[in-house]
Structure 1
């Protein structure tokens, strides 16, 4: 199953390849957010989280989600920005109230937009097979929960065996001469030669005859770019890594990337803006032959949503 996303007026909805789904609504005038998340399958129940950027006095203040005058108390989960979660016992009630509501706010005064909420929640019901069941978010009915399809199987990814990293790492690495002659590498080196990022070469041993090298290519205010190459010993016979995503063609580049030899993974966190409330977080695992996408989350709207509450777009096991 492919991941999919849709926009419904002010709201967005996302379902990943495992059919876990998420709906998000913004605060009016760009202040605050709300998230509804629900796993696939007959036993799943929605989870509700909401948040906003606080002033100093609000950082430790519990708050409620208020829908058409009814309060749904929430428990603080983080302070900057404020994020809170709703007890499970009232979450489905609150979600259905959102779908039919006229007004909503979080905290004492932060109004939320409900324009598109009903359509986003119905889209999730349709994707997960919940319409007219007792588990439906938007359009409940009498059909039992047992009629909801189960979760599709997730792809299985097995990491390669760990190997010694003696002589490799992300400090004081010298790029091999065989890599320096690659035209794309030479271009990156020319653009970063006078910049501190030019020294940010990373390397790792993938197995007895295979190495991994990261070439610094650019740096901005809050993002740093590297291109990754898989090579033979000493950087010989280099080929660009193939790092897939759910939304773009595979590339050799990462933003704010790094390699962990303990987990055999490249990770990246591309920020949409400096506070890191939007962008893409990705992980690729070395299987012994290639790097395979093993997790991805992406928040396209800069609404103040912390990365822990972004929608997943790809999962594996």
Structure 2
């Protein structure tokens, strides 16, 4: 199943390849957000989170989500002082209030738009096969939860065996001559020759005869870019790594990337802006033959949503 995203007036909805779905509503004038998330299948139950950028002491103060004058108290998230969650026992009640509501706000005065909420939640019901069931977000009925479409199977990805990284790493790495001669690398090196980022060469050993090299290509205020190459021993016979996105687009570059030899993964966190409330976070796993996308989350709208609350766009097991 392909991941899919749609806009419904002010709201957006996203479902990933495993049919986990998310809907987001923005605050007026850029202040605040609300998120509804629900897993696939008969056992899927909604979760509701909301947040805003508080000032001073407000960062540790619990707040409520208010819909048409009814307060729904929330619990501050443990690791995110700008986010809070509705208790699980009231989540479905809150979701249905959002779908049928006229006004909503979080905290004392941050208004949340409900324009498009009903349509976004109905789209999720349709995508997951919840319409007319007791678990539906928007269009509930008498059909039991067992009538909900089952969750699709995830792609299975097996990491290659771990291998010693002696002589490789993220510091004091010298780019091999064969890589220095690649035209695209020559261009990157020229761009970064007079900049500190030019020294940020990374390397790893993938197996006895295969190496991974990351060439620094640019740096901005909050993003740093590398191009990744898979080579033979000593950097010989370099070829660009193929790092696919959930949309199927292939590239060899990452933003704020790195390699973890423990998990055999390349990760990236491309920020849409400095506070990191929008962008894309990706993980690719080395299988012994290629890097395969194993996880991706992405938030296109810069609404203040912390990365822990971004929607999933690709998952594997």
TM-score (norm 1): 0.99
Distance 1:261 1:204 in 2: 7
Residue 40 of structure 2 contacts residue 150 of structure 2 at CA under 8 Å; is this kept in 1? yes
Corresponding residue for residue 48 of structure 1? 48
Distance 2:263 2:17 in 1: 23
Residue 168 of structure 1 contacts residue 204 of structure 1 at CA under 8 Å; is this kept in 2? yes
Is 1:76 aligned with 2:71? no
Q: Please state whether the residue corresponding to 1:59 is helix, strand or coil.
A: helix
Deviation track 1:233-290 (CA, whole Å, cap 9, x = no partner) reads 0000000000000236200000000000000000000000000000000000000000
Paired residues, number: 317
Q: Spell out structure 1 runs of 4+ moving beyond 6 A.
A: none
Deviation track 1:121-164 (CA, whole Å, cap 9, x = no partner) reads 00000000001111100010111111101110000000000000
Give matches, 1:27-106, under 5 Å: 27-78=27-78, 82-106=82-106
Deviation track 1:81-115 (CA, whole Å, cap 9, x = no partner) reads 51001101100000000000000011111110000
Corresponding residue for residue 160 of structure 1? 160
Deviation track 1:12-50 (CA, whole Å, cap 9, x = no partner) reads 000000000000000011100000000001121100000
Distance 2:94 2:168 in 1: 52
Distance 2:247 2:55 in 1: 36
Corresponding residue for residue 136 of structure 1? 136
Q: Please state whether the residue corresponding to 1:54 is helix, strand or coil.
A: coil
**How far is 1:57 from its partner?**
2.5
TM-score (norm 2): 0.99
**How far is 1:78 from its partner?**
4.8
Corresponding residue for residue 283 of structure 1? 283
Corresponding residue for residue 150 of structure 1? 150
Q: Please state whether the residue corresponding to 1:185 is helix, strand or coil.
A: helix
Corresponding residue for residue 237 of structure 2? 237
Corresponding residue for residue 15 of structure 1? 15
Residue 54 of structure 1 contacts residue 80 of structure 1 at CA under 8 Å; is this kept in 2? no
Say what the alpha-carbon RMSD is for the aligned residues.
0.9
Is 1:126 aligned with 2:126? yes
Residue 60 of structure 2 contacts residue 81 of structure 2 at CA under 8 Å; is this kept in 1? no
Corresponding residue for residue 308 of structure 2? 308
Corresponding residue for residue 296 of structure 2? 296
**Which consecutive unaligned segments of at least 5 residues does structure 2 have?**
none
Corresponding residue for residue 268 of structure 1? 268
**How far is 1:80 from its partner?**
5.7
Distance 2:234 2:43 in 1: 53
Distance 1:24 1:249 in 2: 25
Q: Please state whether the residue corresponding to 1:95 is helix, strand or coil.
A: helix
Corresponding residue for residue 256 of structure 1? 256
Deviation track 1:191-249 (CA, whole Å, cap 9, x = no partner) reads 00010000000000000000000000000000000000000000000000000002362
Corresponding residue for residue 225 of structure 1? 225
Residue 52 of structure 1 contacts residue 81 of structure 1 at CA under 8 Å; is this kept in 2? no
Distance 2:217 2:285 in 1: 22
Distance 1:43 1:175 in 2: 51
Residue 49 of structure 1 contacts residue 84 of structure 1 at CA under 8 Å; is this kept in 2? yes
